[in-house]
């Protein structure tokens, strides 16, 4: 039997196992919306702005590992999704975006609500398609899902003209797809793995630096086996948090601009670095000329272009992190290699002396609410088991530092693009994926306003997330840079005329509480987390001018950190160290 | 770092968006393109592109990897790494009057160019060869007035067995 393109599309989604799509209707998508109306297997979540749809789908993808799906209309529907698509692209998140397009015969005519969807999305998608013929539709959708979630994952857009959604064709959904021009390499080269094993075990001052690629690969067990087998220190990027447990003594914290003192000092002084699924972002490396001057680097990445892009690599290995880590462990066993225990002991002594600086310490006797304290308590109250989404700014860094993630796919944030407005819609996607779990969104008063309209979506679908607003009445991260680098000229970083967030939450049909006394923080968190059915907006009035420490200024080296006033007093005097 | 000229051959799906993806990649990442040519191959589902670019070793490595990453790209080969042949086609319209008529004709012959259109005052000369030969010819044509000049951009092919085709054994694509 022949079906319309719209029905074919919805069947494809069903057969692909899609449970939710996040979308917003409009003219060019109306046949598709009509097809959705006729079925109840694929559930559509109506957002309040298409940016919210792309972030919600992204949040869903980050915690499940399955592509998030977005459906929007042509023109403004498409352009509104772009921020969310770019966010997913930068963090290698699988997503399929389906956009309605004006009818084929009008394409190129500046028709009503026409925008060149392939053109505007091209720089921030892994791939995109325009479906010209209804007979190609099912295969194109299959390819879109395959491309989105294989190799280095990313967003794929499928643009479908309205007439194609009305045209008829037989439905057949291919079970598999193969493309002669696209074959990701998964298995690492065995010769390279052997070289890597030998180099890694020859280290005197080793470090294992891992990122989002380990999460993508599902390689956390393999990583744990390797690190524990060797007793080597492990640091994670912002995107990799949770792939090695924060509570393990071998974990030395996040590295990079706001990473711990011990992680950054160890990166600087190491002689062998194993980088897995991490891309040497400039927030990690700082000044490349001062980056890890003594290190020989082994780099494992599924994307060959990521290897050798920013730093010179001794042993490149193209492959999937999970498979390569497993092969690496097996090779070490097979070759009966043992670490240099004496050197390792000295190295750990050094690392522990850096640790004793306690670079994340803050003033615990303040009469104002310290944002770090809120997050410490949140961690305790939720037993470290909540899904935490965040927006972008100081609150994001504190969440990364103080919520100690022991499992991957719990920490959901925009690292590469740094998109304010991400946290709330992403939390909706996370809740739909894991409706029984606690989902909190850590945000700031500036970020939350950027997608605040999604409180309405939360009402419609009973999404009981908890919003932790660390309200410092500043674009804190911007203010901090202005304090450090612009002589405290706080140009346009002050949030004037803020709404009453409690009243605002209530106007959307939710509840809200304001907390301005440190003594009330824990109690309020406990009360709120018990309310499993309600969305509660917690407005914490925090210390206005608290800063995120440590901090490596852009363009500095890892050994040139700003420490908090408190940690500074603990910093060991620079000693002459002989490193080679 | 030393910047060298490279000539990169790309085999890609003959699909409408493919060219804009390659062009977009070069502009987004700030790579320079000296010339770019593209046309379908004997297999109409595939196109063959030749890109001439300059850059340091590490930039060229990134260009090659980034090209490979494009979903429609089947294979990439840096011809500068191997023995290869390059050709470019030029058509040049020159003023050919009086004494210059014979002089221009003689120059064209020396360069093995062909005069493919003649009027009382004008020749159009066709010339094929390596870029340097074309450049040299343009230089000598300064004896007269060049009215119009069009060059095709470079096409390249590797010598001997090694070939950039679907089944060719060189330069396996990986993402
Ligand atoms: C305000 C702010 C401050 C920040 N400060 C810091 C900071 O202090 N420290 C920090 O770390 N980050 C920080 N970031 C984040 C930073 O910008 C980058 O997003 C982050 O460092 C990148 O993490 P990653 O290297 O793990 O790469 P990701 O972006 O997670 O990339 C993953 C890598 O793994 C590869 N990969 C994917 N799948 C696989 C697989 N299956 N097998 C193998 N490899 C795979 C990919 O090709 C890619 O190279 C900050 C961001 C913001 C917004
Ligand atoms: C969409 C967007 N615009 C601008 C920025 C630049 N920016 C980064 S952090 C920040 C301030 C965030 O303020 P807030 O949400 O209050 O968080 P805080 O830093 O105070 O915790 C800004 C403006 C951004 N990351 N994203
Ligand atoms: Mg703020």
pLDDT digits (tens, 9 = 90+) for A163-182: 999 999 999 999 999 999 99
Residue A438 Cβ < 6 Å to ligand 2: no
- Check B174 against A126: CB less than 8 A apart: no
Q: What spacing in Å lies between the alpha carbon of A236 and ligand 1's midpoint?
A: 9
Contacts of A182 in chain B (CB under 8 A): 71, 175
Residue A392 Cβ < 6 Å to ligand 2: yes
Domain ranges within chain A, ordered by starting residue: 2-170, 190-355, 371-541
Side by side, the strands of the sheet bearing A439-444 are A411-412, A387-390, A439-444, A466-471, A536-541, A511-515
Q: What is the pLDDT along chain A (580 residues), one digit of tens a residue?
A: 899 999 999 999 999 999 999 999 999 999 999 999 999 999 999 999 999 999 999 999 999 999 999 999 999 999 999 999 999 999 999 999 999 999 999 999 999 999 999 999 999 999 999 999 999 999 999 999 999 999 999 999 999 999 999 999 999 999 999 999 999 999 999 999 999 999 999 999 999 999 999 999 999 999 999 999 999 999 999 999 999 999 999 999 999 999 999 999 999 999 999 999 999 999 999 889 999 999 999 999 999 999 999 999 999 999 999 999 999 999 999 999 999 999 999 999 999 999 999 999 999 999 999 999 999 999 999 999 999 999 999 999 999 999 999 999 999 999 999 999 999 999 999 999 999 999 999 999 999 999 999 999 999 999 999 999 999 999 999 999 999 999 999 999 998 899 999 999 999 999 999 999 999 999 999 999 999 999 999 999 999 999 999 999 888 888 888 999 888 877 776 665 667 6
Q: Could you say which of A39, A112, A312, A460 is catalytic? A: A112
Pocket test for ligand 2, best of A424, A478, A544 (most atoms within 8 A of CB): A478
Residue A371 Cβ < 6 Å to ligand 2: no
Pocket test for ligand 1, best of A237, A321, A447 (most atoms within 8 A of CB): A237
Question: Is B149 contained in some domain?
Answer: yes
Asked if residue B77 and residue B36 are part of one domain, the reply reads yes
pLDDT at A316: 98
Query: Is B28 at the interface with chain A, CB within 8 A?
Result: yes
Asked if residue B114 and residue B151 are part of one domain, the reply reads yes
Nearest to A183 among B20, B58, B174 (CB): B174
Whether residue B165 contacts residue B11, with contact meaning beta carbons closer than 8 Å, is answered with: yes
Domain boundary among B22, B53, B81: B81
- Name the pLDDT band for B170 (thresholds 50, 70, 90): very low
**Assigned token pair, A531:** 């309310």
Task: Give the ligand 2 atom nearest the CA of A395.
Answer: 21
CA–CA separation, A50 and B28 (whole Å): 25
CA–CA separation, A180 and A61 (whole Å): 27
Task: Enumerate the H helices of chain B as residue ranges.
Answer: 18-28, 57-69, 99-110, 131-140
Question: Is B33 contained in some domain?
Answer: yes
Question: Is B172 contained in some domain?
Answer: no
Q: Is A2 a catalytic residue?
A: no
Asked if residue B68 and residue B109 are part of one domain, the reply reads no
pLDDT at B57: 92
CA–CA separation, A474 and A446 (whole Å): 7
Q: Is A251 a catalytic residue?
A: no
The mean pLDDT value of chain B amounts to 93
Asked if residue B8 and residue B77 are part of one domain, the reply reads yes
- Calculate how close chain B gets to A128, using CA atoms only, in Å: 9
CA–CA separation, A547 and A11 (whole Å): 51
Query: Is B19 at the interface with chain A, CB within 8 A?
Result: no
pLDDT at B163: 85
Tell me the CA end-to-end span of chain A in Å, nearest whole number: 72
Asked if residue B110 and residue B63 are part of one domain, the reply reads no
Write out the residues of chain A at the interface with chain B, using a CB-CB cutoff of 8 A: 118-119, 122-123, 126-128, 130, 147, 151-152, 179-185, 302-305, 308-309, 318
Q: A2-170 maps to which CATH number?
A: 3.40.50.970
Its sign, for the CA torsion A145, A146, A150, A154, is negative
- Check B71 against A318: CB less than 8 A apart: no
Contacts of A309 in chain B (CB under 8 A): 62
Interface test with B, best of A182, A183, A188 (most B CBs within 10 A): A182
**Assigned token pair, A169:** 């064709």
The neighbouring-strand residues paired with B36 are: B51
Nearest ligand (C-alpha, residue A479): 2
Q: Could you say which of A254, A397, A420, A477 is catalytic? A: A477
- Class assignment of domain A190-355? alpha beta
Count of domains observed in chain B: 2
3-state secondary structure of B157: strand
Whether residue A395 contacts residue A60, with contact meaning beta carbons closer than 8 Å, is answered with: no
Query: Is B29 at the interface with chain A, CB within 8 A?
Result: no
The neighbouring-strand residues paired with A25 are: none
Residue A474 Cβ < 6 Å to ligand 2: yes
Nearest to B174 among A308, A309, A318 (CB): A318
Give the residue-averaged pLDDT of B7-26: 95
CA–CA separation, B124 and B111 (whole Å): 14
CA–CA separation, A12 and A370 (whole Å): 50
Whether residue A262 contacts residue A242, with contact meaning beta carbons closer than 8 Å, is answered with: no
Asked if residue B122 and residue B68 are part of one domain, the reply reads no
- Check B175 against A123: CB less than 8 A apart: no
Short-list A273, A238, A277, CA closest to A258: A238
Asked if residue B103 and residue B65 are part of one domain, the reply reads no
pLDDT at B174: 47
List all residues 6 or more positions away from A85 whose beta carbon is below 8 Å from its beta carbon: A54, A95, A97, A121, A124, A125, A155, A157
List all residues 6 or more positions away from A243 whose beta carbon is below 8 Å from its beta carbon: A210, A214, A215, A219, A220, A223, A236, A408
The residue count of chain A comes to: 580
Domain range for residue B62? Answer: 4-81
Asked if residue B93 and residue B71 are part of one domain, the reply reads no
**Assigned token pair, A73:** 């209309």
Question: Is B35 contained in some domain?
Answer: yes
Check whether domain A371-541 has CATH 3.40.50.1820, yes or no: no
CA–CA separation, A225 and A213 (whole Å): 17
Nearest to B73 among A123, A152, A181 (CB): A181
- What is the model's pTM? 0.96
Asked if residue B97 and residue B39 are part of one domain, the reply reads no
Asked if residue B20 and residue B74 are part of one domain, the reply reads yes
CA–CA separation, B79 and B66 (whole Å): 17
Whether residue B17 contacts residue A130, with contact meaning beta carbons closer than 8 Å, is answered with: yes
Give the residue-averaged pLDDT of B144-168: 91
**Assigned token pair, B30:** 């700030």
pLDDT at B16: 87
Contacts of B56 in chain A (CB under 8 A): none
Asked if residue B27 and residue B72 are part of one domain, the reply reads yes
Tell me the CA end-to-end span of chain B in Å, nearest whole number: 27
Domain boundary among B59, B81, B103: B81
Question: Is B17 contained in some domain?
Answer: yes
Pocket test for ligand 1, best of A184, A220, A284 (most atoms within 8 A of CB): A284
CATH classification of the domain holding B53: 3.30.70.260
CA–CA separation, A531 and A514 (whole Å): 16
- CB pairs < 8 Å spanning A and B: 51
Nearest to B24 among A123, A126, A181 (CB): A123
Measured at the CA of A421, the angle between CA A254 and CA A483, to 5 degrees, comes to 60
Whether residue A451 contacts residue A425, with contact meaning beta carbons closer than 8 Å, is answered with: yes
Domain boundary among B26, B46, B81: B81
CA–CA separation, A338 and A336 (whole Å): 7
Asked if residue B75 and residue B90 are part of one domain, the reply reads no
**Residue linked to tokens 């680097």:** A297
């Amino acid at each position: 039997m022949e079906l319309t393109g719209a029905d074919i599309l919805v069947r494809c989604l069903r057969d692909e196992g899609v449970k939710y799509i996040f979308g917003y209707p409009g003219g060019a998508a109306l046949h598709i919306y009509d097809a959705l109306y006729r079925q109840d297997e694929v559930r559509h979540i109506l957002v309040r702005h298409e940016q919210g749809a792309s972030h919600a789908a992204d949040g869903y993808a980050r915690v499940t590992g399955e592509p998030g799906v977005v459906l929007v209309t042509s023109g403004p529907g498409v352009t509104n999704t772009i921020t969310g698509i770019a966010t997913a692209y930068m963090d290698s998140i699988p997503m399929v975006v389906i956009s309605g397009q004006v009818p084929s015969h009008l394409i190129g005519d500046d028709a009503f609500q026409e925008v060149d969807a392939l053109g505007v999305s091209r720089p921030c998608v892994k791939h995109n398609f325009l479906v010209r013929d209804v007979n190609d539709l099912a295969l194109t959708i299959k390819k879109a899902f395959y491309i989105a979630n294989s190799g280095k994952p990313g967003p794929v857009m499928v643009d479908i003209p309205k007439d194609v959604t009305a045209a008829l064709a037989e439905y057949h959904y291919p079970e598999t797809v193969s493309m002669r021009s696209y074959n990701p390499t998964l298995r690492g080269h065995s010769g390279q793995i052997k070289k890597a094993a030998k180099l890694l075990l020859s280290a005197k001052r080793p470090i294992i630096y891992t990122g989002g690629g380990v999460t993508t690969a599902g390689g956390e067990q393999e990583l744990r086996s390797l690190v524990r087998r060797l007793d080597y220190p492990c640091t994670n990027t912002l995107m990799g948090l949770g792939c090695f447990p924060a509570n393990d003594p071998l974990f030395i914290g996040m590295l990079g601009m706001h990473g711990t003192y011990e992680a950054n000092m160890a990166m600087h002084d190491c002689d062998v670095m194993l980088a897995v699924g991490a891309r040497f972002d400039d927030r990690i490396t700082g000044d490349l000329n001062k980056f890890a001057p003594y290190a020989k680097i082994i780099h494992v990445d599924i994307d060959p272009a990521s290897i050798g892009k920013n730093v010179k690599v001794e042993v490149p290995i193209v492959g999937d992190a999970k498979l390569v880590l497993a092969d690496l462990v097996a090779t070490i066993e097979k070759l009966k290699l043992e670490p240099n225990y004496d050197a390792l002991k000295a190295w750990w002594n050094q690392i522990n002396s850096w640790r004793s600086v306690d670079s994340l310490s803050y003033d615990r006797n303040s009469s104002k609410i310290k944002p770090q304290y809120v997050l410490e308590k949140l961690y305790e109250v939720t037993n470290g088991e909540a899904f935490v989404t965040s927006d972008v700014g100081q609150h994001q860094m504190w969440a990364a530092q103080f919520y100690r993630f022991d499992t991957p796919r719990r920490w959901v944030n925009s690292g590469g693009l740094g998109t304010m407005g991400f946290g709330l819609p992403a939390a909706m996607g996370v809740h739909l994926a894991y409706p029984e779990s606690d989902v909190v969104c850590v945000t700031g008063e500036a970020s939350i306003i950027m997608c605040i309209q999604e409180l309405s979506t939360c009402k419609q679908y009973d999404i009981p997330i908890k919003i932790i607003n660390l309200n410092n009445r500043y674009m804190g991260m911007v203010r901090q840079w202005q304090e450090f680098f612009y002589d405290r000229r706080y140009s346009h970083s002050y949030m004037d005329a803020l709404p009453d967030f409690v009243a605002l939450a209530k106007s959307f049909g939710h509840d809200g509480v304001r907390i301005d006394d440190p003594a009330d923080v824990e109690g309020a968190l406990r009360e709120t987390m018990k309310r499993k059915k309600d969305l509660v907006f917690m407005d914490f009035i925090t210390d206005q001018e608290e800063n995120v420490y440590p901090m490596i200024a852009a363009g500095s080296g890892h050994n040139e950190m700003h420490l908090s006033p408190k940690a500074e007093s603990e910093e060991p005097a620079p000693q002459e160290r002989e490193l080679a | 770092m030393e910047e060298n000229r490279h000539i990169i051959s790309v085999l890609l799906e003959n699909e409408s968006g493919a060219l804009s993806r390659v062009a977009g990649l070069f502009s987004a990442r700030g790579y320079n393109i000296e010339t770019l040519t593209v046309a379908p191959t004997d297999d109409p589902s595939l196109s063959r592109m030749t890109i001439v670019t300059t850059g340091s070793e590490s930039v060229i490595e990134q260009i090659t990897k980034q090209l490979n990453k494009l979903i429609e790209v089947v294979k990439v080969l840096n011809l500068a790494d191997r023995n290869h042949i390059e050709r470019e086609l030029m058509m040049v319209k020159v003023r050919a009057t009086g004494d210059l008529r014979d002089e221009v004709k003689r120059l064209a012959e020396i360069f093995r160019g062909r005069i493919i259109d003649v009027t009382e005052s004008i020749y159009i000369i066709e010339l094929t060869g390596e870029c340097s030969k074309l450049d040299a010819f343009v230089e000598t044509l300064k004896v007269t007035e060049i009215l119009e000049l069009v060059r095709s951009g470079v096409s390249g092919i590797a010598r001997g067995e090694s070939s950039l085709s679907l089944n060719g054994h060189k330069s396996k694509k990986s993402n």
